[in-house]
Every structure is written in C-alpha cells, then in structure tokens.
C-alpha cells in the first residue's frame, strides 16, 4: 500500500507515522531523509540539491521530483511506502502522479489528520519547558506540576503564539490545493486527529486494511 501523510503542524502526524511503521513495516520516507541520502550518496541530483542548499536557496521542483523518483524506485518500496513532507505543491502532486504511473503503481490513500486549527494553536503555543529538568508541559492540556517556579519555565521561539499562528496559516494555504486535488481523485481520507492517539490509529488501520 502506498500512502501519503498530511496534516497541519501539531496534528499528530509524526506519532501516527511511528505507529504505522511499527505495525506494517512500510518504509517511512520523508523529504529530509531523501535529500540527506541523495547528498550522502553523491548522486547527480544530490549534488544539485546541495548546491542550491549551500546558497540558501530553495531546491527547484525538478530536482526534488527527481530525488523522489529515484527513492521510490528502490527495492524496499515494492511492498508499499509512506511518504511524508512531499508533495508540498500542486506541481509536485502532478509530478508524483507521473512518477507513480512510470512505476506502474498508484497512491492508494492520502491520510489527512484533521484537527481544528484553534486546538492546534493551543497544542503548540501552550508548550513550556522546565530549565532545570528539561521536561515539557502544556499550560492548557498538561500544566506544570505544583511547586515548579514560573521563572524556571521558558518557551521556545517556535512555540510563541504569533509564530504558531503564522505557521498554521501558511500550512493551511499550502495544503488546501493538495486536499482539493486528492479529494477530486477520490483517495483522500480525513481522519479526526483529536479523538486520542489509539482511536486515531484505529481509523488508520481501518483504512489501510479496508
């Protein structure tokens, strides 16, 4: 089974990916892993990607698409794979259709972990960390234990409310055309992401095995 994972930041995609890998032993292929491997292997496309990254630029779609095509041709994907972080644009989604067609395969399911953006803002912007213990808390869902001095707590820049709000907004704008694309193809599955980790995974299993 060939699966795409999608979801806004904080929707639980990483947690579910780990559970899918544990149960089904699909290779979990992320964009970052593909780039690192292509660069380490010094493939032509890896070298091209590295040159753009060294200059601080975005890697063009044709290079990214080529790296994805090379990765999906490898033997470990023959029984299925789980692709995470690609496609990010409609052009990439269309390129992936061509890649799959050339391999005489198709994307079977696009799993979208659907959580209310307001809940996600609380999940992410509520995170605080204890300087002394390194423990992470959430002021909304998992408040710091009694006796912890508020001066001991800090928030990472990435978790500040205005940063979180912008991240979610940008991701929503990027993902909507992709959701429309896969909905039209009939392989998009919206999974409620706020019903508890095990219940979410039960829905995932139902889709994969159904």
Q: Give the length of the chain.
A: 210
Is residue 156 annotated as a catalytic residue, yes or no?
yes
Is residue 105 annotated as a catalytic residue, yes or no?
no
Structure tokens at 84: 């995470």
Specify the pairing of strand 109-114 against strand 188-192.
parallel
**Exposed/middle/buried for residue 61 (C-beta within 10 Å: 0-12, 13-18, 19+):** middle
Comparing CA positions, the residue from 112, 151, 164 lying closest to residue 4 is: 112
**Residue 85 among known ligand-binding residues:** yes
- Could you say which of 71, 121, 127, 203 is catalytic? 127
**Residue 77 among known ligand-binding residues:** no
- Could you say which of 121, 122, 167, 203 is catalytic? 167
- Rounded to whole angstroms, the Cα distance separating 127 from 111 reads 26
Is residue 190 annotated as a catalytic residue, yes or no?
no
- Could you say which of 88, 105, 160, 190 is catalytic? 88
- Could you say which of 13, 71, 122, 123 is catalytic? 13
Is residue 167 annotated as a catalytic residue, yes or no?
yes
**Residue 195 among known ligand-binding residues:** yes
**Residue 58 among known ligand-binding residues:** yes
**Residue 36 among known ligand-binding residues:** yes
**Residue 16 among known ligand-binding residues:** no
Is residue 127 annotated as a catalytic residue, yes or no?
yes
Helix ranges (DSSP H) in 28-110: 31-40, 44-54, 61-72, 90-102
**Residue 71 among known ligand-binding residues:** no
Q: Does residue 206 contact residue 1 with C-beta atoms inside 8 Å?
A: no
**Residue 167 among known ligand-binding residues:** yes
Q: Residue positions in the annotated binding site for ATP? A: 10-15, 127, 136-137, 195
Binding residues: 10-15, 31, 36, 57-59, 85-88, 92, 127, 136-137, 156, 167, 195
Active site residues: 13, 88, 127, 156, 167
């Amino acid at each position: 089974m060939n699966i795409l994972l999608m979801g806004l930041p904080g929707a639980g995609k990483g947690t579910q990916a780990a559970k899918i890998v544990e149960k089904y032993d699909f290779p979990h292929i992320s964009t970052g892993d593909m780039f690192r491997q292509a660069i380490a292997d010094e493939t032509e496309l890896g070298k091209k990607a590295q040159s753009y990254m060294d200059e601080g630029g975005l890697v063009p779609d044709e290079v990214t698409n080529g790296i994805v095509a090379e990765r999906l041709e490898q033997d470990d994907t023959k029984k299925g794979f789980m692709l995470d972080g690609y496609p990010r644009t409609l052009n990439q989604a269309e390129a992936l259709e061509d890649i799959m067609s050339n391999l005489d395969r198709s994307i079977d399911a696009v799993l979208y972990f659907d959580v209310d953006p307001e809940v996600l803002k609380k999940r992410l912007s509520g995170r605080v960390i204890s300087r002394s213990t390194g423990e992470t808390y959430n002021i909304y869902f998992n408040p710091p234990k009694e006796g912890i001095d508020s001066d001991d707590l800090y928030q990472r820049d990435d978790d500040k409310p205005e940063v979180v709000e912008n991240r979610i907004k940008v991701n929503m704008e990027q993902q909507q055309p992709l959701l429309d694309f896969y909905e039209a193809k009939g392989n998009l599955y919206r999974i409620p992401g706020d019903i508890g980790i095990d219940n979410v995974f039960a829905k995932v299993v139902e889709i994969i095995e159904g």
